[in-house]
Chain A
Amino acid sequence: EAGVVQSPRYKIIEKKQPVAFWCNPISGHNTLYWYRQNLGQGPELLIRYENEEAVDDSQLPKDRFSAERLKGVDSTLKIQPAELGDSAVYLCASGEYSGSSTGELFFGEGSRLTVL
């Protein structure tokens, strides 16, 4: 079975340009997460979906970041316009939520963004 698939793996853009990341979670997983990981730090939650609903987007900088999960499967994360401080690895993860807690998260390889 395929794991969580992310694309692109690497992206280099100039500041003020837009960028989009795509994630295909593990089939059957109802929760999907986007995290941002800066070098040497832990993953920081940006947004969490349960099926197609964003249940926690409190950490998403909504002035420039947007996300969607149409049909409760694939998801895209967009940044427009990108700033120098957005350089990081963007990790997508999926899991199964039972109604009271979430278990193991399965991460994709990540999308490494460099903003020049």
Chain B
Amino acid sequence: GENVEQHPSTLSVQEGDSAVIKCTYSDSASNYFPWYKQELGKRPQLIIDIRSNVGEKKDQRIAVTLNKTAKHFSLHITETQPEDSAVYFCAHSGTYKYIFGTGTRLKVLA
């Protein structure tokens, strides 16, 4: 009941196009949904997050949407750039758990 499914596992887009990554969770107690970016050999770093009392949040080219009824949330990156190439992880957290998805390797082709 704690795992999170993340799709797709790999995603290639042309520079300037949009990228969408989706995650589905099952723990109804989760109330915090962050997204982390991990570049090769580096530590994961938060890029955007959303709490369960909000449906959508946007920060420049990045947006996250949450459907708590359906238990899924998505990361949207618009106008992708080569420096967006990395592995992206969704996560969900409740009282005690902080569980990560399996990751999406995004490649932005110049």
Contacts and interface: CB of A to CB of B under 8 A. Distances in A.
Interface of A: 33, 35, 40-45, 48, 55-56, 91, 100-105, 107-110
Contact of B98 (A41, A102, A108, A109): A102
Contacts of B46: 104-105
Contact of B103 (A33, A42, A91, A103): A42
A45 B98 contact: yes
B95 A101 contact: yes
Contacts of A100: 31, 95
Given A48-B96, A103-B49, 8 more contacts: A45-B100, A48-B98, A100-B31, A101-B51, A101-B93, A102-B32, A104-B46, A109-B43
Interface residues of B, number: 23
Interface of B: 6, 31-32, 34, 42-46, 49, 51, 89, 93-103
Q: Which of B43, B44, B102 has the most CB of A within 10 A?
A: B43
A103 B43 contact: no
A100 B95 CA distance: 6
A101 B54 CA distance: 15
B96 A56 contact: yes
Given A41-B102, A43-B89, A107 B44 contact: yes
- Give the top 5 A-B pairs by smallest Cβ distance, nearest first: A42-B100, A107-B43, A101-B32, A104-B46, A43-B100
A103 B33 CA distance: 9
Contact of B32 (A40, A55, A103, A110): A103
Contacts of A44: 100
B31 to A, nearest CB: 5
B102 A101 contact: no
Nearest to A33: B98
B97 A45 contact: yes
A33 to B, nearest CB: 6
B97 A56 contact: yes
